Every structure is written in structure tokens, then in C-alpha cells.
Amino acid sequence: MILKASLTLIFLSAIECQEDPLLVQTADGPLRGGFRKTGTGTAFRSFQAVPFAAPPVDSLRFGAPQPVTPWTEERKASGWEDIKCIQYGFLYDEAPKVQGTEDCLYLSVFTPANVTAGAKLPVMFWIFGGYFQSGNNAWWAYGADNYIERDVILVQPNHRLGPFGFTDMGIPEAPGNQALRDLVAALQWVNTNIESFGGDKDRVTIFGESSGSWAVSYLQMTPYASGLYHRAIMQSGGLFNPFWLWQTREDAVGLSSVLATLYNCTDPSPQGKLDCLQNIDAKDLEESINLGSEETLGIQKVFRGTGIIDGDFFPDIPTELVDRGEYNHVDLMLGMTKDEGLLQTVQFEINPDLYGLAQVLWKHLGPMFLFGRVGDYDTWPGDWEKCQDITNAYLGSRWNIDQEHFQNLTDMISDAYIWYGTHNHAKWTAQHGDNVFQYLFQFKGPYGYLDSYGVDSTKYGVAHSDELWQLWNIYFGNYWVNRPEDIVSVSDAMLEMWINFASVGDPTPPGSGLETAWAPVTPEDHRYLVIDSEMRMDASESYQARMGIWDKIFEYPTGNTIPSPDMKRMRENMVRETSDMWTPVRGPGEDLI
């Protein structure tokens, strides 16, 4: 049964203590937190709206995060906070609108009630998903209960989104990668302050799902994060997935010029673009994330946030960094759900006319679904031929894009979006001797992401983000009580593995009591743990065959990812609205009950 989380369920609790456990002295100033209770009655400390960087407003819009102005009086951190960076409310509202604030660089810290400075508990640093366009660290979206009850300190930062988080003008005042720089700033805050909360600064695990997982993968590639964390968990996403790759600085600066022309900026110099775009109303600037192209029905977006290879924050193309071993070598857990592609292919079930339309328009839609192309302007020679080869390998022909081949279509898009990049990330880091554990989540529970579209998720496979129901409680305003025994078993096992990994670098260490030992990936043995009612290690023939298709056909870019854009053509082909045949992305809690 699911209950809506409310203040009647999680409430302020008065706990007497000779020392003041709610007053913590940080390097920036004193914080006063509050007591909360989990759904099972376990007390814990909550510190919310803790600033880790100066507000990125006015002349700091598009800049790298700057230090907080210190304070001397107690700062209240005991409230129920829901601070969002500027975004469309895709994850929150049925009718999305621009919401949030630019003054959003705050984090939350949740600890067990009686932990004191010097306790050195493991620290887990959660990065929310949302396509780098939406989401935040709200207590009601990803509740701390499951981690607090297992003696973990949980840190949840915000980061900038959309144009505020990824605009690169090639100058220090607008260096690009702002969202990822925000996360580095939050990790620096943890490194400086977490021991005052009872955490171990030498046992920090970053973990995230979807774009949060992409962020984790990017943080592994930047020397700016070196030494700030020690383990990483990537859930369904990473920078090596063909659908969503990085950009070069030339790519990104070119796109910032297009952005400036859209807002009628007349001075094309970097400083001129900066001055102009810093004076655009934040809500008006946020509208740019809706811009797509006619060729792909407005589905893929022109200004999609991603990592920018600038020669500094990212010294080189990620494939080159990994090949040379020049990245942050940390213990790594990563994986995917069985049917990641349902995130997209559910649209064909909602509107079956898309099957025939995709057959006809596959020359445009194919490169979009497989390689993340927006339109003709960013399509490379050879894309269509590769798209045909991949499509034929999974479906036999694009004319087989129909309901009968729904699972084939889902598998193909799963691999483009998540599977192939995850496979390579595990393989390549293991080749350098890193401690790597890969999983495949295929447990089918009663709730899933597809429910938010009004689709009965029980009739389909295991979609993108479905594992989050087992890891979080509260999850997007829903508190799950009276869970069936099989769900409790899978959830408890996953949480034990996640926290074991964060604690000691091994999800199933000796003495853990877990029945299946999770073997690491090695160059000789690329198996993964199947997470289901019965756990097992596997490397199925189907998995190997699907990864082999991409090995044979796909090539990672070695330079720019966008051909020199024709700005005039780009502007002429841009559309603000997605086709009404495509249902907007929605939050996992909507329309559930």
C-alpha cells in the first residue's frame, strides 16, 4: 500500500540531550538543524537549505560556483525545504511551467539522531535525475529513511539545470559545465565539513540515477573531483551511451552563439553574449530548453545539457582519458534496468500512429533515437547507414517498427540509451584494474515509471528508474507500507548491497549474509548480477550479442560532436512545441493513486 507522505507521518521530534546535537559548526558558520522521524519511528537529524556556494545570480549567472559568504549567527537549517533551480516542472506538474529560483545552490544533510562529530559513518552523496533539465533535492522526492535506518549519512545537493548549467561562451565568466562544477563545489563542502556531522570524509560514495548517473560518470573524468570521493554508483546512465554523448568546446560555444541570436543579442563577442544573456529574464531564458527541430518532431532538444570537453575541467575526450587511464580510479558499481527503452517506446503504445510515422520518418527519427541527433544540422555523414545497420540487426527492417516487434524496438533503444555505455564503462575501467561491479535490475514490482503516463506498468517490462521504488522510501511523495514479502526481500538486499559497497567497496563482503556473491567485472569475466527475486550472476548470450552489434557498427567521436552549424537553417527549423503525438515526460509519482 502507498501512502502520501505528509507532515503527520514525518514530524518534528523533541529529543533531550546534554550537548546540543542540532547545532553544528561548519567552516562557513553555525547551523541549527531539526529532528525528524522515519516512517518506522526512528529519529534522525535533518539539516536542509545549507548553502555550499554563493547564489549564482546577476554577474555570477553562467559562472563557476563561488564561495559562500560566511556567517557568525546560527543559521536555521531545520525547515522543510523544497528549493528548485530554475526549471520546467516536468517531474512535478501535469501542466509544466517554469518554476524555481537561480538562488538554488543548497544541500541537505541527514544523519542518525545520536551521531556525533568524529563518528566517521559512511557518507552517500545522492545526485537526482531529470535529464539535466529538472529535479531537485527535496526531502519528499528521495526520502532519507532507508539510509538513516542503516547508519549512513546522506547528502543531497542541488545543481544548476538547463541553460544555467551548461552554457559555454569560452571565457572564465561562462566556462560551461556549471552543473558539474556545482557538484564539485558540494563535494568540496562535504570534504571540509562532513566530519562535524559525524561522517567520514574518506568514505564518500557518489551515486545517482539517470542524469544523476551521467553526472557521476562525468565526475569520474574530471581532475577537479579527484580525492573528493572514493566510490561511485551509476544507476542507468553514463557518458559513453551513444544517445547522449559529450560536446567539445567548439560545439558548445557555437550553440551559445545560436542561443544569443535567439534572444536578439547584437554583440557576437563572448563578453557581449554574456552581458546580453545575463540580462534576460530567467524564466524567458529557460524557455530555450523547449526548442527542437521540425525533422524530429520537436522531441529532441537543441540545447540539451551535457558535459563539455574544455581542456581544463575535462582535459580530453573521455574515450581518450579512459584509454590512457587518466581519470579518477575509484570503486565502481553500475548497472541498468531490463527495459530502459520503455522510457521512449511507451509513446508508441500511447499513440499507435507513431509506429507508421516512425517507419516513414526513420531517416530522421532513427539517428535521433540511436545517436541523440536533433535534426539534419547535427547529423554526420554515415549516420543513416549506421542507423540502418543497427535497425536491421534488431528489427530486420525499419518497416518492422510495429507492435509485433515492440520488444525488439525497446531492446534497441535500451542499448542506445543505457546498456552499451554501461557495458563499455564497466569493461574499460575493469581493464585498468579498478574494482567494478555491474548489475541488471529485472525485478518486476507492482509500481513503475509507466504508471505516470496512465499506462498499466504491470503489463510491460522493467522500465528506466523502476529500481528506485526499492531504494527510496519516501519516493516522490509516496510512502510504501505493508509491502509484500518478495518486495521487502529485494529492497532489503539491494540496500544492504548498496551500503556495503559504500562502506567497504564490496556489495557482498564475507559475512554479509547475502546468498549470492557479487563477482566483480574483470577483463576475463564480464558478468553482472541479475537483481530479481532470486539473484544470480550471468552474462547471457542475448546480452553479448546485443553489445556485439554496437561494437561492430558504432564509433565514438574523436573530435566535435556537432558539424559546423548553419545558424540560419537551425533557426528556421526550430520548433517550440513537441508533436502532440508525443506525451511529455512526467514524474514517477503522478497519477499513481
- Return per-residue pLDDT of the chain as tens, 593 residues: 555 554 433 334 333 334 899 999 999 999 999 999 999 999 999 999 999 999 999 999 999 999 999 999 999 999 999 999 999 876 665 667 899 999 999 999 999 999 999 999 999 999 999 999 999 999 999 999 999 999 999 999 999 999 999 999 999 999 999 999 999 999 999 999 999 999 999 999 999 999 999 999 999 999 999 999 999 999 999 999 999 999 999 999 999 999 999 999 999 999 999 999 999 999 999 999 989 888 888 888 999 999 999 999 999 999 999 999 999 999 999 999 999 999 999 999 999 999 999 999 999 999 999 999 998 888 999 999 999 999 999 999 999 999 999 999 999 999 999 999 999 999 999 999 999 999 999 999 999 999 988 899 999 999 999 999 999 988 988 888 888 999 999 999 999 999 999 999 999 999 898 989 999 999 999 999 999 999 999 999 999 999 999 999 999 999 999 987 566 666 666 776 666 655 665 556 443 32
Helix intervals (H) in 225-375: 249-262, 270-278, 282-286, 318-324, 342-350, 353-371
* CA distance between the termini of the chain: 10
Q: Which amino acid is at 391?
A: T
- Cell (9 digits) for 342: 520503455
The SS3 call for residue 185 is helix
Q: Is position 545 within any domain? A: no
Whole-number Å distance between alpha carbons of 406 and 400: 9
Q: Which amino acid is at 528?
A: Y
pLDDT at 164: 98
CATH code of the domain in which 490 resides: 3.40.50.1820
Whole-number Å distance between alpha carbons of 518 and 553: 31
Q: Is position 208 within any domain? A: yes
Helix intervals (H) in 267-325: 270-278, 282-286, 318-324
Q: Is position 476 within any domain? A: yes
pLDDT at 149: 96
**Cis bond upstream, residue 474 (ω within 30):** yes
Domain extent, residue 106, equals 2-259+307-341+430-443+470-540
Q: Is position 45 within any domain? A: yes
Give per-residue burial for 151-185: e unless 16+ CB within 10 Å, then b.
ebbbbbbbbbbbbbbbbbbbbebbbbbbbbbbbbb
Q: Is position 350 within any domain? A: no
Q: Which of 101, 120, 107, 93 is nearest to 51 (CA)?
A: 107
Whole-number Å distance between alpha carbons of 276 and 270: 10
- Kindly give, in sequence order, each residue whose CB lies less than 8 Å from that of residue 369, ignoring residues fewer than 6 positions away: 243, 344, 412, 413, 416
Q: Is position 347 within any domain? A: no
Is the Cβ–Cβ distance between 188 and 68 less than 8 Å? Answer: no
- Cell (9 digits) for 295: 525533422
Helix H or strand E segment including 88: strand 87-88
Cell 537561480 sits at which residue? 102
Cell 540511436 sits at which residue? 370
Is the Cβ–Cβ distance between 405 and 390 less than 8 Å? Answer: no
Give per-residue burial for 33-56: e unless 16+ CB within 10 Å, then b.
bbbbbbbeeeebbbbbbbbbbbbb
Whole-number Å distance between alpha carbons of 391 and 500: 40
Whole-number Å distance between alpha carbons of 421 and 554: 11
The total number of structural domains in the chain stands at: 1
- Cell (9 digits) for 167: 552554457
Helix H or strand E segment including 491: helix 485-504
Q: From residue 524, how far is each of 323, 330, 424, 425 by CA, in Å? A: 18, 20, 14, 15
Whole-number CA gyration radius for the chain: 23
Q: What is the DSSP string of 316-343?
A: S-HHHHHHHT-S---EEEEEEETBTTHH
Q: Is position 404 within any domain? A: no
Is the Cβ–Cβ distance between 478 and 3 less than 8 Å? Answer: yes
Q: Is position 102 within any domain? A: yes
Q: From residue 237, how far is each of 106, 442, 488 by CA, in Å? A: 24, 16, 26
- Cell (9 digits) for 426: 564497466
In this structure, the chain runs to a length of: 593
Q: How many CA atoms lie within 13 A of 305 on its CB side?
A: 29
Whole-number Å distance between alpha carbons of 409 and 398: 10
Is the Cβ–Cβ distance between 142 and 472 less than 8 Å? Answer: yes
pLDDT at 249: 97
Whole-number Å distance between alpha carbons of 272 and 571: 20
Whole-number Å distance between alpha carbons of 373 and 143: 36
Torsion of CA 255, 261, 267, 273, to 10 degrees: -50
Q: From residue 151, how far is each of 20, 111, 112, 503 by CA, in Å? A: 20, 8, 6, 10
